[in-house]
């Protein structure tokens, strides 16, 4: 029996097949492509990323906005043709790479990063997971995927499509299902409908904190066998199942799909023993207040020290891995100073009578869950506005992790090469806590950079 050849497209004179193994279905509806492109509000983006541009149907309307555009194409036939087609457009770059593996870290220096794309059915979930799992530079995303997947992404508790994917994604993103797309919009035609979803970062204040790994583990266990009651799937909670059910306001026979996102967060907090509301840092914590010679002259509460700009002491810690990268933390939204700014691996104020070295070891454990025995002094900085009126010692230690950041202290963390950090600071100093910038510059003087390039 003769098989029909796969559908072909001609790009720059080259015959290109739609690869079934890659889940390719090329969008051919120009009006739909223009509408989808508009949903990320490209005019407000500092960088637009389109994974899997294929034949460029979505790229064409994106190019018209004149904003920097990065096309990431894995297909070895499509990528060279796209490179040739857009070679004369200075604001368009084509990257021949797998969108599930592309390094996102250089994109932080670009500012407002937005992603839009018609994702291949075969790897759409992997691309979404890679681009949107925190920490990520992406600030808005619009994707076209299988209708079933989009419905699961956007489903709320009580809806048929609600499941583990809904809970895990909505923990970090507000998801909107924008429209359904019929097979006729593509060539070759898929056998199922598609849909378009828009994802925007969730307000971190909208949910109490919990350990991300614990949350994901419990959600996956709970939805692993949907017909079973949760008490038969989850570990025994600290105070017993009856107490947990009562705290959640559900019967002991509850199943996973009966719990809303908020209830899943509450359940995780119960397992973690978090029985108090998030309150951030205590304003009555005592600090040593010092004079211009860094000599202790008094003890004052944290709130008073910060409100009056009194001189005090703090330590910063750089944790470096075997590749020479520095682990940076994204400060929690609960921090009273520089919330949601990138900072040193660990940082904190000295307790009354505490040494800098002891503080460095303590803060590294409290913030990152990393136990270290010693550090080395990297720099000593005088107090000033550049350090938020702190006499700072920078301490260095080496570890490859793993890190278990304390969610009250750290929102997320990532390893960055020093050259990349330097380029990022030069492009967007507002992304960082001031104390970190001062420490990094002091450390960098003793560790000169190689060529730092922003892509």
Contact present, 343 and 365 (Cβ < 8 Å): no
Contact present, 190 and 25 (Cβ < 8 Å): yes
Q: At what angle do helices 212-224 and 261-271 cross, to 10 degrees?
A: 110
Cα 28 to Cα 40: distance, rounded to the nearest angstrom: 20
In this prediction, the residues of the chain whose per-residue pLDDT falls under 70 are 1-24, 281, 283, 450-455
pLDDT digits (tens, 9 = 90+) for 284-327: 788 899 999 999 999 999 889 888 999 999 999 999 999 999 99
CA distances 16 to 61, 83, 85, Å, are: 22, 15, 15
Cα 347 to Cα 367: distance, rounded to the nearest angstrom: 8
pLDDT digits (tens, 9 = 90+) for 365-382: 999 999 999 999 999 999
Model pTM?
Answer: 0.90
Structural domains of the chain in order of their starting residue, each with its CATH number: 8-206 (3.40.50.150), 212-271 (1.10.8.100), 286-445 (3.90.79.10)
Cα 269 to Cα 255: distance, rounded to the nearest angstrom: 18
Tokens 């034949």 found at: 55
């Amino acid at each position: 029996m003769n098989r029909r050849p796969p559908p072909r497209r001609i790009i720059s004179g080259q015959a290109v097949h739609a690869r079934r193994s890659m889940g390719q279905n090329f969008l051919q509806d120009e009006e739909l492509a223009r509408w989808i492109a508009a949903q990320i509000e490209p005019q407000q983006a500092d960088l637009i990323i389109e994974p899997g541009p294929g034949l460029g149907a979505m790229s064409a309307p994106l190019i018209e906005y004149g904003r920097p555009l990065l096309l990431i194409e894995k297909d070895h036939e499509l990528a060279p043709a796209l490179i040739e087609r857009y070679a004369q457009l200075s604001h368009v770059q084509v990257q021949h790479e797998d969108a599930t593996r592309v390094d996102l870290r250089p994109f932080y220096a670009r500012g407002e990063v937005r992603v839009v794309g018609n994702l291949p059915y075969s790897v759409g979930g992997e691309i979404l997971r890679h681009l949107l799992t925190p920490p990520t530079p992406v600030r808005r995303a619009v994707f076209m995927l299988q209708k079933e997947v989009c419905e699961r992404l956007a489903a709320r508790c009580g809806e048929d499509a609600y499941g583990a994917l809904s809970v895990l994604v909505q923990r970090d993103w507000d998801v909107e299902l924008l429209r359904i797309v019929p097979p006729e919009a593509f060539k070759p035609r898929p056998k199922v409908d598609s849909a378009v979803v828009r994802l925007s970062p969730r307000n971190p204040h909208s949910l109490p904190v919990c350990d991300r790994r614990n949350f994901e583990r419990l959600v996956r266990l709970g939805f692993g066998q949907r017909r079973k009651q949760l008490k038969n799937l989850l570990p025994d909670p600290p105070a017993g199942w009856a107490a947990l059910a009562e705290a959640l306001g559900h019967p002991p026979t509850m199943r996973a799909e009966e719990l809303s996102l908020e209830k899943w967060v509450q359940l995780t907090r119960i397992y973690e023993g978090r029985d108090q509301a998030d309150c951030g840092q205590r304003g009555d914590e005592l600090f040593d207040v010092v004079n211009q010679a860094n000599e202790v002259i008094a003890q004052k509460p944290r709130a008073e020290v910060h409100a009056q700009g009194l001189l005090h002491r703090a330590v910063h810690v750089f944790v470096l891995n075997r590749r020479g990268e520095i682990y940076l933390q994204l400060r929690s939204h609960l921090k009273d100073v520089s919330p949601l700014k990138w900072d040193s691996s660990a940082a904190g104020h000295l307790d009354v009578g505490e040494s800098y070295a002891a503080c460095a070891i303590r803060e590294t454990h409290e913030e990152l869950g990393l136990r270290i025995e010693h550090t080395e002094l990297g720099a000593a900085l005088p107090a000033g506005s550049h350090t938020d009126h702190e006499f700072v010692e920078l301490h260095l230690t080496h570890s490859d992790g793993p890190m278990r950041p304390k969610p009250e202290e750290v929102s997320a963390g990532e390893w960055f090469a020093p050259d990349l950090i330097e380029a990022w600071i030069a492009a967007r100093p507002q992304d960082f806590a001031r104390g970190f910038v001062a420490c990094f510059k002091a450390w960098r003087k003793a560790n000169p950079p190689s060529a730092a390039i922003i892509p």
